[in-house]
Amino acid sequence: MERQVLRGFLANIEVFPPLILTFQFNPESVSDTKATQYGDRDAELCGNAPGKVYTGGGHRTISFDLKLHGLEKGTNALNPTGLDNGIATELAKLRSFVYPKEDAWAAFGSSVGGRRLQAPPVCTFGFGAKILDCVVTELTISETQFNSFLAPVRADVRVTLVVVEDSGNALYELDKHRRNAQAALGLQNVSIY
């Protein structure tokens, strides 16, 4: 029996139908960065003792590179023309994560009319055991090959996400409990003499 390779994904489940970008090729690496912040300890209160005081945590940032590849005929069965095909639909899905929600309606003559723009949608990032709600903070698309209609058929994409770490966010809480359980399981490797 042939085993199927799992694919990572980015999804916007706030719209109907949901926009899901399944990674055509999984990233070779995923960077997961969490910063913390420390300030200098007040020497007068601590008797001139040097040291640092924890002042807060920074954002958890996840970044990775994707490669998109579409055939000359394109990958969109609903739109078989070469002009809007290739990987255009996949690129449109990616771009939807960095534009405010109202932008999609601007083409139909709707105006915001002094109202505050809604933020771009939260996306769900899935990669192995990581399933997290995130916001896309940076998206760099380099279109590297085009079909005869000049529609992109290959692209290199760099995605940077910030994890939504709000208490009450079910995916964040699940990830936190999973990390704590894995750290506790790591204690079995400690030898006590």
Q: How far apart are CA 27 and CA 8, in angstroms?
A: 8
108 by DSSP, 3-state: which? Answer: coil
d(CA 58, CA 53): 15
* Strand pairing report for 152-163 and 30-40: unpaired
For the chain, list the strands marked E by DSSP: 9-12, 19-22, 30-40, 52-69, 123-127, 130-146, 152-163
Query: What per-residue confidence (pLDDT) applies to 43?
Result: 56
Pair 62, 30: CB distance under 8 Å = yes
Whole-angstrom distance, CA of residue 139 vs CA of residue 8: 17
* Cα distances (Å, whole numbers) of residue 31 to 57, 63, 76, 139, 162: 18, 5, 30, 15, 12
Q: What is the pLDDT of residue 123?
A: 93
pLDDT by position in tens, the chain (length 193): 677 778 999 998 888 788 899 998 999 999 999 988 888 876 555 555 667 888 888 899 999 999 998 864 545 555 555 555 678 889 989 998 998 765 444 555 555 455 556 788 899 999 998 999 999 999 999 999 988 888 888 999 999 999 999 888 899 889 988 888 888 887 666 665 5
Tell how many helices (H) and how many strands (E) occur in the chain.
3, 7
The pLDDT score that the predictor gives to residue 102 is 56
| Contact predicate 39/146, CB 8 Å | no
Q: Which is nearest to 14 in space by CA: 91, 88, 100? A: 100
pLDDT per position as a tens digit, 91-130: 989 998 998 765 444 555 555 455 556 788 899 999 998 9
